[in-house]
Structure 1
């Protein structure tokens, strides 16, 4: 695992709009479309984690504990909310290895295989860097509104940080070694 710590009317979103978090995004701020070129420092990680939590609450109607549970998982997976991290700790763009073998994960959720390619394709379609916070958030949002909607439903069925963290871990991340205590510890920083 990477170690850097450092209203009623329906609205249809375009892919570019889906890439933007509920509170905005753009060229500046924690969820920009700019490439990540170095690991976040601990204070930066906390700031980015809070932004993700706030956006998840707005986009999915989650409470503090539920959103914190999701972000705790992502914080653990990404070695500190690093959106441009390759499994093992390197920061930058994704490598070309698309194996889904628990050794080639990429991004905030350590996507592998077809999901890693999905992140790359999403970023390209939205003209943003795949290592950016905006690409990672937008792709996660797309997954949670699509094939992984069940993960949001599982999280919404919980009422505390530990429960939400476990629900997201089991329904979305599905790691071979959950290391749940670490995920909960990160989530507790927010919830």
Structure 2
């Protein structure tokens, strides 16, 4: 969400603890191995998630009522909650949120998915994901791109 400020610190993107704050490498591998995304596309998505929620599945924006990794709000938040409940899992489970994001991309957000699938670099993937899936103001697009490039570099030696 536009009013969420992720925590700052000296930790690198790949040192985020598990649980509600999954390892970036786990999320990266999951997007590639389960959904067939390219490393660049996975990094682009994760660069956005870093801005949206600081990788916290329980991130909450009280001004908008947005929750989760991608700061879902309104009908999209309710759909996420129903998606989790249908599986008998917590809405704060990172895999549930990743699976929901991919479900959205393959259904109602298929236009964003088509553009994402055409992105060949982390920067392009980050920009497309921001503009067509997150639909942010674009104000933090440079940060999203920088994050995606940083994640791609950090994940170079991670097997998917």
The two structures have a TM-score, normalised by structure 1, of 0.67
Please tell me whether residue 2 in structure 1 is matched to residue 8 in structure 2.
no
Q: Distance in 1 between matches of 2:132 and 2:34?
A: 19
Question: Aligned residue for 1:131?
Answer: 92
Q: Distance in 1 between matches of 2:149 and 2:126?
A: 10
- Please tell me the root mean square deviation across aligned C-alpha atoms, in Å: 2.3
Question: Aligned residue for 1:70?
Answer: 45
For structure 1, which runs of at least 5 residues remain unmatched after alignment? 7-39, 89-101
Partner residue of 2:78 out of 117, 122, 129 = 117
Q: Is the 8 A contact 2:6 2:52 kept in 1?
A: no
Partner residue of 2:56 out of 54, 63, 82 = 82
Deviation at 1:58, TM superposition (A): 2.5
Residues 24-68 of structure 1 show CA distances to partners (whole Å, capped at 9, x for unaligned) of xxxxxxxxxxxxxxxx99612696222222222223322211210
Hey, which of these two has a bigger chunk of helix by percent?
2
Q: Is the 8 A contact 2:130 2:136 kept in 1?
A: yes
Residues 85-132 of structure 1 show CA distances to partners (whole Å, capped at 9, x for unaligned) of 1016xxxxxxxxxxxxx7221110000000001111111111111122
Relative distance call for 1:127 and 1:47 in structure 2 (3 A) is: closer
Q: Who wins on radius of gyration, i.e. which is larger? A: 1
Q: Distance in 2 between matches of 1:41 and 1:5?
A: 10
Instruction: Give every structure 1 segment of 4 or more consecutive aligned residues whose post-TM-superposition deviation is greater than 6 Å.
Output: none
Q: How does 1:4-153 map to 2 (within 5 A)?
A: 4-5=7-8, 43-44=15-16, 48-78=23-53, 80-87=54-61, 103-153=64-114
Residues 148-170 of structure 1 show CA distances to partners (whole Å, capped at 9, x for unaligned) of 12222111212211111101111
Q: Is the 8 A contact 1:2 1:87 kept in 2?
A: no
The two structures have a TM-score, normalised by structure 2, of 0.79
Q: Distance in 2 between matches of 1:166 and 1:82?
A: 21
